[in-house]
Amino acid sequence: MTKAATTVLVIASLAGVAFATVAAQSQGASTRWEYTRLEGIQQTSSDGNGFRFIYRACQAASGDWHCRSFTPEPTFSADMAFREALFTLGQDGWELVATVSPHENGEPSYLFKRQRPPE
């Protein structure tokens, strides 16, 4: 290969990389995210003699939260509800991005995000 052909090939390759980088950056600039907070909540039993932890995942929306609960079966531990919540959120495309300091009940909040579907 001649020196001129090699130079042309290198310049064309660099131009392709530069174009791909600009295209990726422009796509990233338009990416929109959704956020969800998962937290454990101590719930008193109906007879008032005990409690259990349920987990609530709340998705941030304009002016409100959209929440769903993960409640363990009476014979299961709170860990079961936590695992169910993590599994379900993962299957729904949520990615764990942070853990926030514990609330007054001693349980931390878990923050998730995912790409918002195109509108």
Angle made by CA atoms 81, 53, 110, in degrees to the nearest 5: 70
3-state secondary structure of 71: coil
Q: Longest Cα pair distance anywhere in the chain, in angstroms?
A: 87
**pTM of structure:** 0.64
- Residue 72 vs residues 16, 41, 79: alpha-carbon distances, Å: 53, 12, 8
Encoded tokens for 76: 């299961």
Helices H, strands E: what count in the chain?
2, 5
pLDDT at 53 (0 to 100): 78
Full pLDDT tens readout for the chain, 119 residues: 554 444 433 344 434 434 444 444 445 557 789 999 999 888 777 777 777 778 999 998 888 889 999 887 766 666 888 899 999 999 999 999 999 887 776 788 999 999 987 77
